[in-house]
Amino acid sequence: MTLFEEITAGSSPEASRDALAAVEAKFGMIPNVAKVLAAHPGTLKAYLAMREALGDDPLGGADAEAVALTVSAFNGCTYCTGAHSGAAMRYGSDDEEIALNLKGDSKDPKRQAFTALVLRMMEKRGAIAEEEIQDFRDDGLTPEDFVAATGWIAVNVLTNFVNRLAKTQSDFC
């Protein structure tokens, strides 16, 4: 990390320490992204709460990682593309699927519609034309999918921007 001095559970702001301890208990380590987010306890807590809430979503596993890869590639976040590539592999995605996800595509028809929606939302900053919305609906996406996509975009943009700003070093490779 070049923008921030190294933050640990012990050197983080007091208000971040419980959240970092929970991250460490879950992952067996504190990822560098969490260390950077710990500089502002409210942002760290908001990120973790949103990830937890979205984790209960029917969209999860490889689908959530596909969205993260699409958003992270669009935003040029190498930390996140690396982390989410590894996670996608743990959920069963192969190199070809990951390469497609990085471009907003997929071999799976439902995931392809979802990643294409996410990419289009990123390109248009959410202002998708009615005809395009109908095309995505025709591909099987529901209003719930549109809102879920927005939530997953938001949580990934947060970490993409923070990691690019901080030049966060990868700890997932």
Euclidean distance between the first and final Cα of the chain, in Å?
Answer: 16
pLDDT computed for residue 169 by the predictor? 87
Of residues 73, 45, 43, 70, the one with CA closest to residue 59: 70
Kindly state the average pLDDT of the residues 117-124: 97
Using the structure block, give the residue that is written with the tokens 């069963």. 92
pLDDT computed for residue 5 by the predictor? 72
Q: Is the pLDDT of residue 36 over 50?
A: yes
Kindly state the average pLDDT of the residues 125-144: 95
Kindly state the average pLDDT of the residues 4-20: 82
Q: What are phi and psi of 124, to 5 degrees?
A: -100, 5
Q: What are phi and psi of 143, to 5 degrees?
A: -55, -35
pLDDT computed for residue 93 by the predictor? 96
Cα–Cα distance, 128 to 94 (Å, whole number): 30
Kindly state the average pLDDT of the residues 37-47: 95
Domains of the chain, each with CATH number or no CATH: 14-55 (no CATH), 61-157 (1.20.1290.10)
Q: Is the pLDDT of residue 158 over 60?
A: yes
Using the structure block, give the residue that is written with the tokens 């025709």. 138
Kindly state the average pLDDT of the residues 29-44: 93
Q: Is the pLDDT of residue 94 over 80?
A: yes
pLDDT computed for residue 3 by the predictor? 62
Neighbours of 27 (CB within 10 A): 10
Enter the DSSP assignment of 170: P
Share of the chain above pLDDT 70, in %: 93
Q: Is the pLDDT of residue 160 over 50?
A: yes
Q: Is the pLDDT of residue 157 over 60?
A: yes
Of residues 153, 152, 163, 145, the one with CA closest to residue 53: 152
